[in-house]
Amino acid sequence: MPSGAVPSGAVPSGSVPSGAVPSGVRPPGDDGTRPDRVVPTWTDPVAAQASEAVGGPWGRHAVTGRAPFWTPLRVCLLFTTAVLALAWTKQAPCADGNWAGSVQYTHFCYSDTVPLFGLHGLDRGELPYLGSAVEYPVLTGAFMVVAAALGRVYGSLADTTALLPVVPPVQAYYVATCLLLSVCALLTTRAVLGTAGRRPWDAALAGLSPVLFVHAFTNWDLWAVALASLGLWAWARERPVLAGVLLGLGVAAKLYPVLLLGALFLLCLRAGRLAVWARTAAAAALAWLAVNVPVAALAPENWSRFFRLNSTRPADPDSLWNIAITTSGGRLFDGPLAEGQAPTVLNAVVAVSTLAMVAAVAWLVLTAPVRPRVAQVAFLLVAGFLLLNKVWSPQYSLWLLPLAVLARPRWRSLLLWQATEALLWVPRMLWYLGTDDRGVDVEWFFLAVTLRDAAVIGLVALVVRDVLHPDRDVVRTSWPGVDDPGGGVLDHAPDRVSRRRRSPAPAG
């Protein structure tokens, strides 16, 4: 094994990694006691500094696991609830659907869910796909139906009783949508905490998220994020079939969870656990088919609209491809396109670039000195996909949130990345507003996109460094004997397939 590699955990039993404990605080261990979980104020300088507001880092005589009510789970769920409340306050000016004066841009509260309420016939009780064409996967359409039904129930109750205020149908629908998405956010926080093992407080990174504050209610993506996060938690609990079902449902809500199945495949290939992966993949395929086949059989044209749209849509404003096309005067790749014409050259370039990225991640997984953790590989695949894809809608950044927290739970780097995501929302809205209405030119928007992409690339580089030098992986070095808390059957599993370079045998 190469020098510096760590087989299953970077810390000898009974010790604490160098630099993990602030000066003046002696960790438990010398007297045979130690906390039952990682203490953030001992392992993260940002957490240690923030703790000064409430008395400083955790002391050596403090005990963990004794709180009767304020457990890490409840505290992290409270954090999430507080951020969601702030997010709703931000969104409130747009809730009634009256967007006169471009309030959705001037108040930074735009949400796809409001205009699509009427566009997809939800205000008339139509069913997506069966009554109207929807450009989203099937389970997202089902989410719309449930929210619309709840909104109609509220409207009926408000009409028959004086206890409830009467609101426009779109507002009742939007409030129901936000409440359901809030449940998804809480489930995501719960899943992150369950997957983090001895590091339950890492879930606070997901709950206190600027990305969650900005984009919780921008679209329906939290639904897919919750399903994907629960799937990874089920995998961590060594329940591969349940993990497959949840990931398959996640793919039925948004396609990106298929990348998580790809991450599990690469890791199971190295560990020789492909039979377990096959059960997960089969369960995912069956769950996806169970949801999609009935709709595809009843309304094949409307069902396939999502796939057709992905092939014909041009580069999204947030993508690097759009910046390249715009700066070239529209001549790059396909050149000017007619209405509805597919960008075939751009599609081919994106496909080749994505396949090259997947191949690079596969090489990293098979050659790393220690098998990477599930969250690390999943984060690299999803981040690479977003960077190279022709579409990066702003709420897609929620896909990265739980994966980034589990891959590299460091407050400073995660907050810096999320600050760029929050910053990007401002010039995006002001660009849509237009310079005639005191908006900004597209150059400011492109600058913000470039900063966000640079922050994501920086996170990718840090995760790759941790993979190549596992003794720098904070998850592996913060608790004795830790391999992969989210690994499930992969945790501490020996390698069966690997392209690692072997150290030469000693002379003689």
> What is the mean pLDDT, run by run of 10 residues, along the chain of 508 residues?
36 36 39 58 60 56 63 94 97 94 94 94 90 90 95 92 90 97 98 94 94 97 98 97 98 97 97 96 98 95 89 90 90 79 91 97 96 97 97 95 96 94 95 90 94 97 96 88 92 81 43
User: How many other C-beta atoms lie within 10 A of the C-beta of residue 157?
Assistant: 12
Residue 299 lies in a domain: yes
Cα distance between residue 263 and residue 284, in whole Å: 14
Residue 342 lies in a domain: yes
| pLDDT for 172 | 96
SS3 category, 132: strand
Contact by Cβ (8 Å): 107, 94:
yes
Distances (CA, A) of 293 to 127, 252, 288: 16, 11, 8
- Domains in the chain, number: 1
Domain that includes residue 137, residue range: 72-326+338-490
SS3 category, 507: coil
Cα distance between residue 152 and residue 360, in whole Å: 50
**Quick one: tokens of 16?**
């604490």
Cα distance between residue 506 and residue 307, in whole Å: 57
Residue 483 lies in a domain: yes
Residue 369 lies in a domain: yes
**Quick one: tokens of 117?**
């309420």
DSSP 218-253: TSSHHHHHHHHHHHHHHHHTT-HHHHHHHHHHHHHH
Residue 164 lies in a domain: yes
Residue 251 lies in a domain: yes
Contact by Cβ (8 Å): 216, 84:
yes
Q: Which residues of 64-91 are buried (b: 16+ CB within 10 A; e: fewer)?
A: eeeeeeeebeebbbebbeebbeebbebb
User: How many other C-beta atoms lie within 10 A of the C-beta of residue 141?
Assistant: 25
Contact by Cβ (8 Å): 12, 480:
yes
Residue 6 lies in a domain: no
| pLDDT for 35 | 61
Report the chain's C-alpha Rg in angstroms.
24
Cα distance between residue 47 and residue 52, in whole Å: 9
pTM: 0.88
Residue 459 lies in a domain: yes
- Residue 11 C-alpha from the chain's centroid: 29
| pLDDT for 52 | 56
- Residue 172 C-alpha from the chain's centroid: 27
| pLDDT for 70 | 77
Cα distance between residue 127 and residue 120, in whole Å: 8
| pLDDT for 56 | 58
Contact by Cβ (8 Å): 51, 24:
no
Exposed (0-12), middle (13-18) or buried (19+): which is 315, by Cβ within 10 Å?
A: buried
